[in-house]
Amino acid sequence: MTTHQTAKTQFVTSKDVKFAYRRFGNDTTNEVPLLFLIHFRGTMDFWDPLLVNSIATKRPVILFDNAGVGQSTGTVEDTIPKMAARVLDFLAALELKKVDVLGFSMGGHIAPYIYLNGPAGLVQHIIIAGSGPSAGEDIVVNSDERKKAIEVNAGAAQVERKNFEYLFFGPSESSQAAARAWWDRIHERNKSTSGEERSDLVSAGFADGGAGMMNMLKAFGVFANLELRAEGSYDRLGNIDIPVLIGQGKDDVMIPTVNSFVMQQKMPNAYLKIYPDSGHGFLYQFAEDFAQQVGWFLDTTAK
């Protein structure tokens, strides 16, 4: 079977953007693909092959780069709803009538809008990992100390393993060992396995002057601004009545873990699972376990 390490990049154009994507996996038992939406500054090359390949044994998967990201053309959008609109353009270009969506971190901010702003019946399930809703009265914000550490680590010109060790994983030796293993796995896709060069993070080396990253930061700012609540997802979460799976680590330094509970409580058909000894990147620390959880969720809640 084609894997994350070997899948060839394909392209489809919608409006003014040429989207890069990879579709592979088992489509004999389930024809509804699972679309993966990546984290802040990430490209599809930063997905964990162990997670993606484990899910792909049972269903088709689609990895893609949104506008201005990785191998896709265009400009990074500066609000979360605009990013979601680009995802909908991409899905329309593929002529997909049904899709499941998995969003991690920033991708988890985007995922609800695919359902809320998309055509009726398009999204069958949503999986949100290491993420949370937009600003609301009971949303917990990070401490100033953590905000500063996130800025230093996530906003570096070249984000390296040491930065991800802090951002995605816990301080315990077991969690840090998982960080090192994940870093090795994401580099298994390279020119020797796929025939393609590996893509780098958005605004890597600030080659674009930091423009792509700054647009993403602007989107975060709007999303977290209580005065702009009307543009957010918080007050619309109750309208998401399809099955939702929310996963999170015990102590997420980027998006406080408690916000996953807040989000789950506002959705009428949402499941919540918190993983021990882990943080933002729990889905990589427990890649096979989370893949199994995703499979169970998609299979048992299917219409």
CB 258 within 8 A of CB 23: no
CB 264 within 8 A of CB 270: yes
Element (H, E) at 194: helix 191-194
Among residues 150, 203, 202, which one has the least CA distance to residue 42?
202
pLDDT in tens, the chain (303 residues): 899 999 999 999 999 999 999 999 998 867 899 999 999 999 999 999 999 999 999 999 999 999 999 999 999 999 999 999 999 999 999 999 999 999 999 999 999 999 999 999 999 999 999 999 999 999 999 999 999 999 999 999 999 999 999 999 999 999 999 999 999 999 999 999 999 999 999 999 999 999 999 999 999 999 999 999 998 999 999 999 999 999 999 999 999 999 999 999 999 999 999 999 999 999 999 999 999 999 999 999 987
CA distance 80 to 176: 31
How would you classify residue 105: left for phi > 0, otherwise alpha for psi between -120 and 50, otherwise beta?
left
Largest distance between two CA atoms of the chain = 50
List the chain domain ranges. 10-300
| Cα within 13 Å of Cα(146), Cβ side | 13
Dihedral sign (CA 294, 45, 223, 149): positive
Q: Output the CA–CA distances (angstroms, integers) from residue 159 to 3, 178, 205, 286, in the order listed.
A: 25, 18, 9, 22
Region 10-300: CATH code? 3.40.50.1820
What is the arrangement of strands in the sheet containing 34-37, beginning at the earlier edge strand? Answer: 10-14, 17-25, 60-65, 34-37, 99-104, 123-129, 244-249, 270-275
Beta strands 10-14; 99-104: pairing state = unpaired
